[in-house]
Chain A
Amino acid sequence: MANSIDEQISALMDGELSEREVPWVLERLRKEPGLAGRWRRYHLIRDALHDTLPARIHFDLSERIHASLKDEPAILVPRRTIHRHLKPLMRHAASMAVAASVAAIAILTFQAMYEEAPTTVAVNTPASVVERTAAPVSTDPRLDAFLVNHNEHSVSTGMHGMLPYVRIVSQDAGGEAIK
């Protein structure tokens, strides 16, 4: 029996949480937005380290659902479906938490859905730093590890020292801000 919420989230990820505890943990994930981010990052860390990364998982799916709730039109077809059903329930403050639990369930049960969704967007249009774009950047968690390896051998690191690592620590600054 897991004794802390962290362990329970971890057990939930592994499918080892007892049936009695599942509703309780889902309830906490719904009520505590901070846990949603932890849920996402647990997946990133654990899957990366265990070499068991699924083909596609959106760790900031909840953020993207959140964004889609705010901004019409929704980009992903599955998301629009979720949107229609959930929009009446959403209030500004609660939307993140609900989206997070939707994400939790979606990740567990509806992975196939995302095979149809454009998870990466070809970004040929220039982006301005002042532009708050809802356009999803790549959320493939494997990228972090590759990015470290890229940085370590790039001329940019040679010229600027550690500054390229800024991109790694700041990566989900957007997600944190929403919380």
Chain B
Amino acid sequence: MKSSAILFAFGLLFPLGALAESPQEAGDWLSRMSRAAHTLNYEGTFVYEHLGTIQSMKVFHGADDQGERERLVTLDGASREVIRDNDKVTCILPDDKAVLVDATGPARPFPISLPTHLEQLEGYYDVQMAGSDRVAERATRKLIIRPRDTYRYGQNVWLDEESALLLKSELVDEAGQVIERLMFTDLKLHAEALPPSFFEPQQTGTDLTWYTRGPEHTGEQADSPENAWRVEDLPPGFRQDIRRFHRVAATAGPVEHLVYTDGLASVSVFIEKGVDDKSFMGVSRKGAVNVYARGTDGYRIMVIGEVPPATVRRIGDSVTLAEETS
């Protein structure tokens, strides 16, 4: 309160004060955005555009003392849904008559410790308020997040003036091109929690086959000693956020999963033992996500993140297995 009063006074004294206060204000907006995404009850329709395709989807979000529930459903093309009940993610693919349930375990850091991340973020991104705009019939504030180097992407985000929810976002690559765009066309905020029926799958056909993955494997870490894997050459600004062992549906054994973040972008490093590494190498891409994989010493290193190819490559190339555990 005090600081905003000071900033306000500052703004009165200096016509350009608004510019000076911008980073602080932008940081506050990002904090609010993050909180809003997880704590508000809302439903909205949006379009998603990438690689020349466009698709409309609907999202429902509810939060109460039981935690968070979310449902994402496609409105055109194949009918697909993703439902989250706290840490359990369920992908429903009725066109395949299949349901995938992925309990990703208790490690999800929620709420994200934003103050820390914001401070970290501001070292590597220039975050500026960029005026007002209108999205989905609602007043928004636009923020431009520019990377200070080429190891990360930029973002333009439009946040709801009232709730700070993200209403539009653009991911901008190192050449300044928008590589992914998401824009709400309709948003309804609810004061009350949404009824549970909102989070029930639309497709309830009895012919769906359910595939549920087993729980986290925690007892199989012996062959990969704690802290044995390291990224020796992290791009500036990235630091380790999470280290966990778990199963991924696509792998036979447990996978070591390291997550690095610069405060805005996250990069996952997955290390699998005994994978035929000759077959899956180099940089590839899935929408705005870049993937880099290589093999080393009977392990496959796979790096995934919404960062430029050079970043996943640099991280992937410098993952090394220390001979001895420190």
Q: B117 an interface residue at 8 Å Cβ cutoff?
A: yes
Complex Cα spacing A20 to B270, Å? 44
Chain A positions within 8 Å of B142 at CB level:
none
Q: How many Å from the CB of B54 to the closest CB on chain A?
A: 8
Cross-chain contact A155 with B266 (CB below 8 angstroms): yes
**Which residue of A130, A146, A173 contacts B270 across the interface (Cβ within 8 Å)?**
A146
**Known interface pairs A45-B93, A127-B51, A177-B77; A149-B246 also in contact (CB < 8 Å):** yes
Q: How many Å from the CB of A67 to the closest CB on chain B?
A: 12
Q: How large is the interface on A (under 10, 10 to 19, 20 to 34, 35 or more residues)?
A: 35 or more
Chain A positions within 8 Å of B257 at CB level:
149, 153
**Which residue of A137, A159, A163, A166 contacts B286 across the interface (Cβ within 8 Å)?**
A137
Cross-chain contact A165 with B53 (CB below 8 angstroms): no
Q: How many Å from the CB of A31 to the closest CB on chain B?
A: 18
Chain B positions within 8 Å of A153 at CB level:
104, 107-109, 241-242, 244, 257, 259, 266, 268
Hey, what's the 0/1 contact readout for B168-183 against A, CB within 8 Å counting as 1? 0100011111111110
Q: B250 an interface residue at 8 Å Cβ cutoff?
A: yes
Stretch at the interface among B6-14, B130-138, B303-311: B303-311
**Known interface pairs A150-B305, A155-B265; A138-B285 also in contact (CB < 8 Å):** yes
Q: B61 an interface residue at 8 Å Cβ cutoff?
A: yes
Q: B231 an interface residue at 8 Å Cβ cutoff?
A: no
Residue of A48, A53, A132, A154 with highest tally of chain B CB at under 10 A: A154
A residues neighboring B (CB under 8 Å): 6, 37-38, 41-42, 45, 48-49, 51, 53, 55-56, 115, 120-124, 126-133, 137-138, 140-150, 152-163, 165-174, 176-177
**Residue contacts A-B, CB under 8 angstroms, 26 given:** A37-B95, A41-B95, A51-B252, A121-B285, A122-B283, A129-B50, A129-B52, A129-B178, A137-B284, A142-B248, A146-B268, A147-B289, A149-B268, A150-B289, A150-B305, A155-B241, A158-B38, A158-B111, A159-B37, A161-B59, A162-B84, A166-B57, A169-B57, A169-B81, A171-B287, A173-B55
